[in-house]
Amino acid sequence: MIRLIIFASGSGTNAENIIKFFKDSRNIKVTFVLTNSKNAKVLERSERLEIPSKVFSKSEFNSKEFLQFLKNEADFIILAGFLLKVPEEIIKSFPNKIVNIHPALLPKYGGKGMYGMHVHKAVVDNNEKFTGITIHYVNENYDEGAIIFQREVALNESDTPDDVAAKIHKLEQDYFPQVIKKTVLK
C-alpha cells in the first residue's frame, strides 16, 4: 500500500478530491492531512472524510521529529495548496516523492509569492491567451522541480481573475488525482 500525506494551507478542495479519489483504492491510501494553519478549512474536510489531520508550526516543520513522522507515515507527499517552502531535509528524504500542483504553466508565473489569485491576476494583467496547471516534483526552489504534467485552457479577453480561477480549479479537480496515481504507481 502506497501511503500519501497531503499538505494544505487553505480550503482543501484539492485535498478532498484526492481523498475521495483514493478512498476505495487497494494500492494507494491517504494517511494524513497536515496543515500549517489552525483555521484552514481543510481540517473540517479531513475530519468529515475521516482522515487524521494535524496542525504544525514552522519550527515543528523543520524538526527532526517531524521528518521522522513523515518517514514513518508516508511514501509520497502531496502539496495541495500548501504555501510554505518545504525544508531541504524533507526534500532530501523524499527525492522525487513530493508532488505539487501549480495554477499556471510553469515556468511562467512561478516562484515565491506566486500562488492562487496572485497568479490569476498576473495572467489576466498580461493578457495571456491561455493558462493551465502544472504538476511537478518539488525541489529546493519554488516551482522549479521537474514537470510531470501540464494541461492548458484557453482564456477569453473578458476573463477576470475569478474566471481564470474557476477554469484552473476545474483542471485541478479533473487531473490532479489521476496524475498522482500514475506518478506513485510507476
- Exposed/middle/buried for residue 186 (C-beta within 10 Å: 0-12, 13-18, 19+): exposed
Q: Whole-angstrom Cα distance, residue 42 to residue 26?
A: 24
DSSP letter assigned to residue 167? H
User: Is 120 noted as a catalytic residue in this protein?
Assistant: no
Q: Which of 102, 118, 120, 169 is catalytic?
A: 102
SS3 149: strand
Which residues, in sequence order, are CB contacts of 74 under 8 Å at separation 6+?
3, 4, 5, 31, 32, 94
Catalytic residue list:
102
